[in-house]
Amino acid sequence: MMYSVSKIQHCHRYSVYFAPRGSRRIYDLGIQIGQLYLSPSDRLIGFIGEAGSGKSMLVRGMFPGLELTNDDEGVNVRPLPILSVGEQEGFYSPHTYHLDIRFEAGFTQMHVLADVIAEALARGKRVIVEHFDLIYPFLKRNAHLLIGVGQEIIVTRPTLFGPAPSDIYEIVSRSLRIRQMAHTAEDLCERYLPNWELGRFQHDDVHNGFVLTFQDEAPELDFDDIEQKVRRDIELDLPVSYVDENHVRIGDVLHPCTGPRTHVPSTGMVENFRLVHRLFYDQETNRYLLVGLVGDAAAPEEDLNRIKL
């Protein structure tokens, strides 16, 4: 029996993905989510998550070419286009609007933002809303597609029975700190890899941690030495600061990073860091995997991504 895409979406409750660290991987995941879950009839799409979680990058992946009104480089679109949606008629009027509620609330009252979103929807427009949980009590309607970004990315299609945006916010806001700790610990580990291993590792994901992957040939690593040096940096509580889209500064050292906004403010905030003192081998891809963990006690090594029921 063949099922249409709309039928599959109608039956969809929620999906969960690792939230990658690094703009390229988040863009790619955004493209994938858009292809799998976005329907032409979805006109209100809500994104939920704290600043620095990667919401805007995910939006760019799902909606290529969309002009974001809260550009990460600090260039903000003024006046906010959706505020004049009633005046923008005709063939060349925008079809899709974007707004960041947390940012716009500093300039426009919430009930005004809710009213213009409702008017845009009534005119058949599509509206992409970041920090959707903040406008929901004023808008009094849920999104057609709701996406939360924390340690994981939750994709859900709410019904009259939920989930409510506040439920998604509670999950992702609590888990983002784990992702930030893992990313900072990941970058610290990179600093202490042998010079001959630099430049050939890639990134992957595991629950409450990170994975560095090495193609074809097993890396020569001293697990104890790397772990001790990272723990020393954590004890020193070095500041971690954004430099540009390709670098962070850890203490006084400039470090290459593809996700420079997704870090804890200082290394001392990384909790319970440890390395798994062996390499995992993935025979499907011929890769060797180095795993680091943070936060609460982990599952057994062979079941790190276990699902808790």
Which tens digits make up the pLDDT trace of 103-156? 999 899 999 999 999 999 999 999 999 999 999 999 999 999 999 999 999 999
Q: Are 86 and 122 in contact (CB under 8 A)?
A: no
- Using one digit for the tens of pLDDT, what is the confidence trace for 149-195? 999 999 999 988 889 999 999 999 999 999 999 999 999 999 999 99
- Using one digit for the tens of pLDDT, what is the confidence trace for 29-45? 999 999 999 999 999 99
User: pTM for the whole thing?
Assistant: 0.87
Residue 232 has what pLDDT?
Answer: 98
Percent of the chain with pLDDT over 90: 70
Q: Residues near 139 by Cβ (< 8 Å), separated by ≥ 6?
A: 114, 117, 118
Report which DSSP code applies to 108.
S
Average pLDDT of the residues in 72-96: 70
Cis geometry, peptide bond prior to residue 79 (ω within 30 degrees of 0): yes
Q: Are 130 and 47 in contact (CB under 8 A)?
A: yes
Residue 302 has what pLDDT?
Answer: 67
Q: Which residue did the predictor score with more confidence, 309 or 234?
A: 234
Q: Residues near 91 by Cβ (< 8 Å), separated by ≥ 6?
A: none
Residue 306 has what pLDDT?
Answer: 78
Give the chain's domains with CATH numbers.
5-163 (3.40.50), 177-303 (3.30.980.10)
Residue 4 has what pLDDT?
Answer: 45
- Using one digit for the tens of pLDDT, what is the confidence trace for 208-236? 999 999 999 999 999 999 999 999 999 99
Cis geometry, peptide bond prior to residue 194 (ω within 30 degrees of 0): no
Residue 300 has which token pair? 């057994």
Residue 279 has which token pair? 């390499």
